[in-house]
Amino acid sequence: MAPAAHRAFPPVEAGMLLTIVTALAIGLATVVGWAAGSLKAGLIIGCVVGLPVGIVTIYRRYRDEL
């Protein structure tokens, strides 16, 4: 059985995954902040937490290809 061909790193796919995960984290934190009574605090927390969550997601998904 031949080994699977090594797939090239797909930058477009990685960029879209980063965008989606970051936006979901920001949106979720904003909704939680809104439900708690502070929309602005939720948005700020979402921005602070969202980007690192997106970066960690990209790293975990593509760590073998980097």
- The count of domains in the chain is 1
Q: Which domain holds residue 37?
A: 12-62
pLDDT in tens, 7-64: 677 889 999 999 999 999 999 999 999 999 999 999 999 999 999 999 999 999 988 8
pLDDT for position 8: 72
pLDDT for position 47: 94
Query: pTM of the prediction?
Result: 0.80
Q: Is residue 51 part of a domain?
A: yes
Q: Is residue 5 part of a domain?
A: no
Q: Is residue 23 part of a domain?
A: yes
Question: Residues 28, 45: contact at Cβ < 8 Å?
Answer: no
In 22-40, which positions are buried (b, 16+ CB within 10 angstroms) versus exposed (e)? beebbeebbeebeeeeeee
Q: Is residue 7 part of a domain?
A: no
Q: Is residue 6 part of a domain?
A: no
